[in-house]
Amino acid sequence: MTSGQATVPAPARPAADPGTGRDAILRAARRAFTQRPYAEVTIRGIAADAGVSPSLVVKHFGRKEELFNTVADFGPAAAELFDAPLGVLGRHMVVTLVNRRRELQSDPLLRVVFSLGNRDERSLLRDRFQEQVTDALTARLPGRERALRAELIAGHLLGLGATLSLHREGAGADATPEHIADLYAPALQSLIDRP
Amino acid sequence: MTSGQATVPAPARPAADPGTGRDAILRAARRAFTQRPYAEVTIRGIAADAGVSPSLVVKHFGRKEELFNTVADFGPAAAELFDAPLGVLGRHMVVTLVNRRRELQSDPLLRVVFSLGNRDERSLLRDRFQEQVTDALTARLPGRERALRAELIAGHLLGLGATLSLHREGAGADATPEHIADLYAPALQSLIDRP
């Protein structure tokens, strides 16, 4: 049995940055908005979880609606993941995903999956993912069955994040992003290349 | 924006079976144990969520510890998913996963991912997944880097469930299991076959 604390995507709570606590607020907001109905989420609850004052949350991110929009925004992650020519996009996506997970101690996409376990109000987060990730990828793909192929590519990306989070002390944790891409990226590339 | 009710993996609450309510209890128990700390889960809460009496929960599944063991048991799903010769195992896993999702209106593996969003007590569910799915698959694989390959195969399976759940009215919902396998299973098979 492990220690009961995951570093990705819900890390053991670190001390808030002495300067700002910005990262702690974002992590707390992600947990709150993916796990609870929107109506039940409060700035005060997020602040308590992050170990900062409610006014600091508002100072950094604005009010609840603005904070939700920040948390639900997959646009920057998608832009970075998709920023490569089609011929090498599969490998670029895998290497970028693994690198970002390790740098941020958080997965850039996986939070959308947590929202599936919540029966209420999580459709906003899902809709945002679909627009910013799946539809954006569909628009990039040539050939037939673009929507299906984009959904399956999104599946490969979400699955990579899921398995690295689940086996956080496993073989994937010791592998380089490049080696993971050697094993995992051909799946994505063949869906990209399929005519 | 969608209706806010997912059929997989958290379906709109159906009327409890007049006879037993067994499926409704299982679904409620899965939600409870993946989303809340073990210590906070109660038979009474699960019964209320399932629309049945607490005594019916105990009658079908026993007390809380036994109910947890039922919910956390990936053994039957793994046995079915892995029940094919290595040469066709990739395709078998994909077709079986999609078929089971559609029959059960629930994914056989994906609930382990929801537990990642819960900081407390979810390690038991994760540990069970690792033993029953990842380690079992590792033991089946020939060749080198078996643990890493098994983790990545588990990722492909979790990702397929995640994307079908996210895009529940998408292109994947209209595709046959065999066609999804045409597109998705080569990724798993190449990890199985890799020397």
**Mutation site, B122, B123, B184, interface A, largest A CB count within 10 A:** B184
Residue B181: pLDDT over 60:
yes
Residue B40: pLDDT over 50:
yes
Residue B1: pLDDT over 80:
no
Q: Is residue A5 one of the residues assigned to a domain?
A: no
| Window from A105-114, A137-146, B155-164, B179-188 with minimum mean pLDDT | A105-114
Residue predicted with more confidence, B63 or B20: B63
Q: Is residue B48 one of the residues assigned to a domain?
A: yes
| Window from A77-91, A121-135, B105-119, B140-154 with minimum mean pLDDT | B105-119
**How many structural domains comprise chain A?**
2
| A145 and A131 in a common domain | yes
Instruction: Return the pLDDT at A119.
Output: 55
| Arithmetic mean of pLDDT, A96-109 | 92
Residue B12: pLDDT over 50:
no
Q: Is residue A168 one of the residues assigned to a domain?
A: yes
Q: Is residue A4 one of the residues assigned to a domain?
A: no
pLDDT tens digits, B127-151: 899 999 999 999 999 999 999 999 9
| B160 and B101 in a common domain | yes
| B125 and B150 in a common domain | yes
Confidence band of B7 (pLDDT split at 50, 70, 90): very low
Instruction: Return the pLDDT at B105.
Output: 82
| B97 and B188 in a common domain | yes
Contact state of B1 with A127 under an 8 Å Cβ cutoff: yes
Residue predicted with more confidence, B35 or B32: B32
Q: Examine the fold and report which residue of A71, A99, A115 is the final residue of a domain before the chain moves on.
A: A71
Residue A85: pLDDT over 90:
yes
Q: Examine the fold and report which residue of B71, B86, B106 is the final residue of a domain before the chain moves on.
A: B71
A123 touches chain B (CB under 8 A): yes
| B83 and B49 in a common domain | no
Instruction: Return the pLDDT at A32.
Output: 85
d(CA B127, CA B123): 6
Domain that holds residue B19: 15-71
| B150 and B112 in a common domain | yes
Q: Model pTM? A: 0.83
Instruction: Return the pLDDT at A35.
Output: 73
| B98 and B65 in a common domain | no
With pLDDT > 70 as the criterion, what percentage of chain B qualifies? Answer: 86
**Mutation site, B34, B166, B188, interface A, largest A CB count within 10 A:** B166
| B169 and B80 in a common domain | yes
Residue B85: pLDDT over 60:
yes
| A164 and A182 in a common domain | yes
| Arithmetic mean of pLDDT, A185-195 | 95
pLDDT tens digits, A159-175: 999 999 999 899 999 99
| B155 and B145 in a common domain | yes
B155 touches chain A (CB under 8 A): yes
CB pairs under 8 A between A and B: 201
Interface of A with B in 16-55 (CB under 8 A): 31, 34-35
Instruction: Return the pLDDT at B114.
Output: 79
Angle between helices A54-61 and A64-71 (to 10 degrees): 60
Q: Is residue B10 one of the residues assigned to a domain?
A: no
Confidence band of A7 (pLDDT split at 50, 70, 90): very low
Contact state of A116 with B9 under an 8 Å Cβ cutoff: yes
A151 touches chain B (CB under 8 A): yes
Instruction: Return the pLDDT at A100.
Output: 95
Confidence band of A141 (pLDDT split at 50, 70, 90): very high
For A126, nearest residue in chain B (alpha carbons): B166
Q: Is residue A63 one of the residues assigned to a domain?
A: yes
Q: Is residue B8 one of the residues assigned to a domain?
A: no
Residues of B in contact with A9 (CB under 8 A): 116-117
Of B12, B117, B156, the CB nearest to A159: B156
Confidence band of A23 (pLDDT split at 50, 70, 90): confident
A177 touches chain B (CB under 8 A): no
Taking phi over 0 as left and psi of -120 to 50 as alpha, with beta for the rest, B51 belongs to left
| Arithmetic mean of pLDDT, A43-70 | 93
With pLDDT > 90 as the criterion, what percentage of chain B qualifies? Answer: 64
Instruction: Return the pLDDT at B20.
Output: 67
Q: Is residue A3 one of the residues assigned to a domain?
A: no
Residues of A in contact with B118 (CB under 8 A): 10, 35
| A185 and A166 in a common domain | yes
Q: Assign residue B59 the CATH number of its domain.
A: 1.10.10.60
As for the ipTM of the complex, it is: 0.83
Is the separation of the CB atoms in A146 and A65 below 8 Å? no
| B185 and B168 in a common domain | yes
Contact state of A1 with B123 under an 8 Å Cβ cutoff: yes
Two tokens at A162?
């899921």
Q: Examine the fold and report which residue of A51, A71, A91 is the final residue of a domain before the chain moves on.
A: A71
Instruction: Return the pLDDT at B14.
Output: 46
